[in-house]
């Protein structure tokens, strides 16, 4: 019973440490995004998006043949989505949209984060998104560095 008790305590400690480290990672990612958003110019209307979209897509290195539609919407969070072979949409919430959000979503497009996802398992895709794609886009939105 003593050995089983030690094993169970060890497993319990591993689960706790994994949960703590995972929580700290997610909190750091979220905090980095919020700091960048708070220090970024606000996007208040559709005209402003259209004005800056071309400049920002060039800055991100997105080819001219790629079509991007960016819209303000009532949805709660910013996101981007592939809607055709070379066509994407970016949705930014009316409330609290900023240039940082736009840059973040443009990086996902520029770095090909939407390409090949349909051939990966959902677990592999989720892990790749969380530990590779999302940190890259966060670094880009905060610093302009492309990894």
Asked if 120 and 128 touch (Cβ cutoff 8 Å), the reply is: yes
Distance CA 134, CA 144 (A): 14
* Domain extent listing, the chain: 2-143
The CA-CA-CA angle for residues 55, 34, 17, to 5°, reads 130
The 10s digit of each residue's pLDDT in 16-29 is 888 889 899 989 99
The 10s digit of each residue's pLDDT in 74-119 is 878 899 999 998 999 999 998 888 999 999 999 999 999 987 766 6
Distance CA 43, CA 23 (A): 30
- The pLDDT, as a whole number, for residue 117 is 64
The length of the chain, given as a count of residues: 147
Predicted model pTM? 0.85
- The pLDDT, as a whole number, for residue 118 is 63
């Amino acid at each position: 019973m003593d050995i089983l008790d030690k094993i169970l305590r060890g497993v319990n400690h591993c689960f706790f440490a994994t949960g703590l480290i995972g929580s700290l990672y997610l909190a750091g990612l979220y905090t980095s995004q919020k700091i960048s958003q708070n220090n970024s110019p606000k996007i208040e209307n559709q005209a402003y998006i259209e004005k800056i979209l071309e400049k920002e897509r060039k800055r991100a290195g997105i080819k001219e043949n790629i079509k991007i539609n960016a819209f303000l919407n009532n949805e709660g969070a910013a996101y981007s989505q592939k809607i055709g072979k070379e066509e994407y949409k970016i949705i930014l919430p009316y409330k609290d949209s900023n240039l940082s959000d736009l840059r973040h979503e443009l990086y996902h497009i520029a770095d090909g984060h939407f390409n090949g996802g349909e051939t990966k398992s959902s677990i592999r895709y989720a892990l790749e998104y969380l530990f590779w794609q999302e940190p890259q886009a966060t670094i880009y939105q905060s610093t302009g560095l492309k990894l």
